[in-house]
Homo-oligomer: A and B are copies of this chain.
Amino acid sequence: MRFPKALAVGGILAIAVTAASFAQEQATVQGSIPNLNLMPQAPELRAGQGRLAIDGSFRVALTGYQEPRLQHAAGRLVQRLRRQTGIPFDDRLETDASKATLVIACERAGEVVQSVKEDESYTLEVTPQQARLSSPTPVGALRGMETFLQLVDLDDKGFGVPGVTIHDRPRFPWRGLMLDVSRHFMPLPVVERTLDGMAAVKLNVFHWHLSDDQGWRVESKRFPKLQELGSDGKYYTQDQVKEVIDYARDRGIRVVPEFDMPGHTTALLAAYPQYASAPGPYSIERHWGIFNPCLDPANDAVYTFLDALIGEMAGLFPDDYFHIGGDEVNGRQWKNNPRIQEFMKAHDLKNTADLQTYFSEHVVPLVEKHGKKVIGWDEVLHPGLPKSAVVQSWRGQRSLAEAARQGYTGILSAGYYLDLMQPAAQHYQVDPLEGATANLTPEQKSHILGGEACMWVEFATPESVDTRIWPRMAAIAERLWSPEDVKDVDSMYRRLVVTSHWLDSVGLTHHTAHAYMLERLTNLRPTASLEMLDSVLEPVKGYAREGARDYTSFTPLNRLVDSTPPESTAARAFAKLVADPKANQDAIRKRLTAWRDNKAELVPLMQNSALLQEDVPLAEDVSALAATGLQALDYINSGKPAPDSWVTDQKEFIGRARKARAELLIMIAPSIQNLVDAAAKSGT
């Protein structure tokens, strides 16, 4: 499916024009409305006069087009606002719009099945008398309601929304989150609160990674062995799937299911080993990585099976798109099977990549036969792929550009992998239309539909997954919604910190789960000293954890590394201070002293906890780093350079302290090195 050219190109141009003055305008707005905390930013936002008070008289009216989705959303808005403010509002909708605090005026019904063509635009005007939200469609109204809720704040007069006029619409029509539910099953409440969080930051595609080597997660009535033998009893019933789809639709979110094939199919093959490329039996995979089991492209029965399975699943999921995976086929079973080798020769398939293309060429028509368009990972891109297909790039903008040049649509996921524990700024700086895609023609660019963050859950559980997705997801959501030139990292972080707490009112658990996991680590004893250590740590990056231990599905993820947030706010703030050590000396010294002295209380606590013992060296090193920092400050104050030998010793020590221990990194180490460098140059 190609994104309609008129809408895409027109939309992008309109945004470009508007966005030209965005930076200045935004500066003005931020100046006059200091607490304004919109994330993602809107392309057009003008500060108005005064402030709309939110008090016990708050009421919502729906005018214009009405449907249950809007009524549900208005009801949720009142509940959310009650949670934000603690004010017991009247639940009932106001019928007289002139008396309402917030009037929602929707023009018409949206699409029966939401697609990439859905109009998500809205206008929100807030005056001291009333807020008015107008939109062509219910989905636009949903987006505007989230904006309204985000703008509610508390100042010295009370709760309210600053006077403002916002014209808002997304830059990209496909803004998603992929959630893996195979490596660790994610029960329904996790899925539902994830959808709530997605809606809060205006995402519109929930990509549900439902099958992989470690589990088949959806009930099949046609092939019940899939869940019976492939899920450990941990799967969604078809009724639950429908519940999720309804829940998502109520929030303006499409649900795109993924059934990964021909690789990543061990769980499927545990149920139906006859479709493998090597003799079974198979059992559910318990380790992480890339595995050999693979469907057999040379077996006609495989396509018969897939036809029936895809048919059943295509009936269950109403979205236009059906994701067939296609990633990471290592081809080992194909190379080792003489029958398959013979088949390849007979069909003039030179290598396993060709064989995968053969497989795709036979599966894609099955998907289309059942009324769906195909989406797949980079690997599915091959000459015979129908132009309606979407290529999801986990490899980078290059393959996206290549797909676009060939006339395919695509979305970017490379750079948006939340499980790799990268800072929000790093994701924020990845743009679907930069790098290799920057040189595409405008027509080709219109084929880039957007992007999807990915949350693979080898190292996340239902308990911890929110701490891995949030708040960084909000930064990616802004990248995909807001104009291209909204990229001020400081502004992003300033708003992200507030948004992170606002997301508590949405029902996400990234803060509460983190606090709970620390309590567990200390055996229910006071956690303040552990919090202080934890606040300057981050988990190791990329795939470093996979090599660190022999992890399996049964490994408890209850260690400090499993609770530590992906990004240290304290270390980032400290780095800012250290940029000017003289000006910020008091603040730096206060922090360093606290970090240096923390180990006295912390280390005995850690020694009593089997789970924290591995982290004692980190506690010791944070303390020693802080002591080094304090010495460096003394040298800086002295106006004379620190002795070379001291500088050398510290550098060596800091080098050691920067190394991962217990799969954790000390994030203040680089700033301490900067202080040492400043001390070395002191007075010069």
A contact set with B: CB distance below 8 Å: 35, 37, 56, 83-88, 91, 153-159, 233, 461, 463, 498, 501-502, 504-505, 511-512, 515-517, 519-521, 523-525, 553-554, 556-558, 562, 607-611, 613
Contacts and interface: CB of A to CB of B under 8 A. Distances in A.
A610 B35 CA distance: 14
19 contacts: A84-B520, A86-B463, A86-B520, A86-B557, A87-B556, A87-B558, A153-B523, A153-B524, A154-B520, A154-B609, A155-B608, A155-B610, A156-B610, A157-B610, A498-B524, A501-B519, A501-B524, A502-B524, A512-B515
Given A554-B88, A556-B86, A155 B501 contact: no
Number of this chain's copies in the complex? 2
Nearest to A152: B523
Contacts of A498: 524-525
A69 B639 CA distance: 75
The 5 closest A-B pairs by CB, nearest first: A86-B558, A501-B524, A154-B523, A158-B610, A87-B556
Contacts of A158: 610-611
A468 to B, nearest CB: 15
A214 to B, nearest CB: 13
Nearest to A525: B498
Given A501-B524, A502-B524, A56 B88 contact: no
A451 to B, nearest CB: 27
Contacts of A553: 88
B88 A556 contact: yes
A511 B501 contact: no
Given A498-B524, A523-B35, A154 B611 contact: yes
Contacts of A461: 86, 88
Contacts of A608: 155-156
Mostly, the A contact residues are loop
B520 A613 contact: no
A83 B159 CA distance: 37
Nearest to A91: B233
A554 B56 CA distance: 7
A511 to B, nearest CB: 7
Contacts of A521: 154
A83 B464 CA distance: 11
A73 to B, nearest CB: 20
A520 B554 CA distance: 39
B515 A515 contact: yes
Given A87-B558, A158-B610, 19 more contacts: A83-B463, A84-B520, A85-B520, A85-B556, A85-B558, A86-B461, A86-B556, A86-B557, A88-B461, A88-B556, A153-B523, A153-B524, A154-B520, A154-B523, A154-B610, A155-B610, A498-B525, A504-B519, A511-B515
B156 A609 contact: yes
Nearest to A84: B520
A56 B556 contact: yes
A516 B508 CA distance: 12
A556 B520 CA distance: 34
Contacts of A519: 501, 504
Contacts of A155: 523, 608-610
A501 B607 CA distance: 20
Contacts of A611: 154, 158
A638 to B, nearest CB: 27
Nearest to A522: B154
Nearest to A184: B88
Contacts of A501: 519, 524
A87 B517 CA distance: 12
A35 B610 CA distance: 14
A511 B519 CA distance: 11
Specify which of A159, A562, A607, A613 lies most central, judged by the most chain B CB atoms within 10 Å of its CB.
A159
Contacts of A157: 610
Nearest to A590: B597
A608 B158 CA distance: 9
A516 B608 CA distance: 30
A517 B86 CA distance: 8
Contacts of A515: 511-512, 515
A4 B207 CA distance: 63
A373 B257 CA distance: 58
A558 B611 CA distance: 38
A35 B37 CA distance: 46
A607 B154 CA distance: 11
Nearest to A160: B610
Nearest to A463: B86
Nearest to A613: B156
A156 B86 contact: no
Nearest to A558: B86
Contacts of A37: 524
